[in-house]
Amino acid sequence: MATGPAVSSALETISRHHLECCICQERYQQPKILECLHSFCEQCLLKYCSTKHEGSTAIPCPVCRQETKLPESGVKGLKTNFYLIGLVEELALQEKIVGSGDACLLCDICERDNEATQRCLDCGQYMCSVCSKMHLRFASSSDHKVAPLKDIREGKVTVTKKHQRQHPKCPIHDGEVTRFFCNTCETLICRDCTVVNHRMPEHSYIERNEATSVFKQSLAELFIPLESTMMDLQNSREKVSRIKEGLGVTAKRVMTEVQGKAAEIRAEVTAQENRLLDDIKNIQTDREQKLGECEKTMGLAAERFQHSLDTAREVTMTASDSDFLSLYPTISKDLKLLADQRIPGVDNRLAFLKFKQSEGVGGISLGQVVVAEDKWELCREFDCSD
């Protein structure tokens, strides 16, 4: 059975495009996309809403918790992610061919049950060597691309979903192709729609090719500032990590100093030592909790930015016109929302901690824990003279 590059390629596709629903851990079935660009199976979202958010007009994303307003028809009215559906179909095709291994796939055209050795990448038919030659002689299919099954199994050729080049049909007017994009309603429409439901001047529409070009450029203009913000966010996240690490080192050093001083007057100031150490640990715990929350918030934000950028870039580069235009309003809204967000600041002072020793042992004062520097200095002193 064929293994190696083709199988690895299929697994990489799952990882790269996240073709498994985060709720059911299975491959997407009728995926619905939320305003944060995360997608989930329709049935998974229905169950999620019925068990945790029944009657709500908005639901938080199960992954990033950003809320998405539900349309009047509920989950079923959310936008279907046809782009993901296409990727799942492509992967299924690849797996079918790879999984067949040495098994015989029959020709879809001739009636002699000949073994298929080729596949048309345009119309999706499996063909024997004779039929593949005839297929390319017909005027209607002379420009089709035909690939050997051997090359597909070895990962040299990637199959794509059938009829990917065809424009989708209008769901309202039978047989009509969606050739326009209504800017007012942000949806694909057909010629009949332009004179019935989407008439000018109430509605503004342009040809789908023009819309694709304009909106791809619109998204591309959002990539650079968001990438810059992503970099700043990552730098801030690393800074928090360094501060947190420095806090641990500083706290450890200060505790050692406290213990060294306490050793000189152990008999007299044991209680002071314990109280100082507890205070330092409490300060460390309190600050680590704050830094941890900050680190977690920045981590979630970084993941959120990365997911939206990856999704927008991937859709822009590889989605068909119809898939792209279907997802554009949601993607554009999300990227603009992210572009307006500010990165939370990081307080460098949280790493500062110092032990200030007393003048001598006879004062029965071990010293002070200094939690701030210079003019905003705040000391905690414990005096056991009583």
Q: pLDDT tens across 72-92, in order?
A: 889 998 999 988 888 888 777
Contact (CB, 8 A) for 326 and 82: yes
The DSSP code for 107 is: P
Question: The tokens 């040495």 sit on which residue?
Answer: 102
pLDDT in the model for residue 360: 59
For residue 131, pLDDT beyond 70: yes
Q: According to the model, what pLDDT value does residue 2 have?
A: 40
Asked whether residue 157 carries a pLDDT value surpassing 90, the answer given is: no
Read off the DSSP letter of residue 377.
-
Any residues with CB less than 8 A from the CB of 334 and at least 6 apart, and which?
35, 36, 37, 308, 312
Both structure tokens of 85: 């559906």
pLDDT score for 379:
42
Task: Please report where in the chains the tokens 């990727």 appear, as a residue.
Answer: 87
| DSSP per-residue string spanning 197-242 | TS-TTTS-EEEHHHHHHHHHHHHHHHHHHHHHHHHHHHHHHHHHHH
Q: Kindly state the average pLDDT of the residues 235-263.
A: 90
Report the range of poorest mean pLDDT among 18-22, 162-166, 287-291, 323-327: 162-166
Give the mean pLDDT of 304-315.
94
pLDDT (tens digit per residue) in 15-50: 445 788 989 989 899 999 999 999 999 999 999 998
pTM: 0.60
Q: Which residue has the higher pLDDT, 331 or 166?
A: 331
Kindly report the backbone phi and psi dihedral angles of residue 67, in degrees, each rounded to the nearest multiple of 5, phi listed first.
Answer: -80, 145
Tokens of 35: 């305003």
* Beta carbons within 10 angstroms of residue 140's beta carbon: 8
Separation between Cα atoms, residue 68 and residue 56, nearest integer Å: 11
Helix (H, G, I), strand (E, B) or coil at 126: strand
CB 192 within 8 A of CB 165: no
DSSP E strand boundaries for the chain: 31-33, 39-41, 58-60, 67-69, 118-120, 126-127, 146-148, 180-182, 187-189, 205-207, 354-357, 367-370, 379-381
* Mean pLDDT rounded to a whole number for the chain: 84
Q: Provide the pLDDT confidence category of residue 202 given band limits of 50, 70 and 90.
A: very high
pLDDT (0 to 100) of residue 383:
38
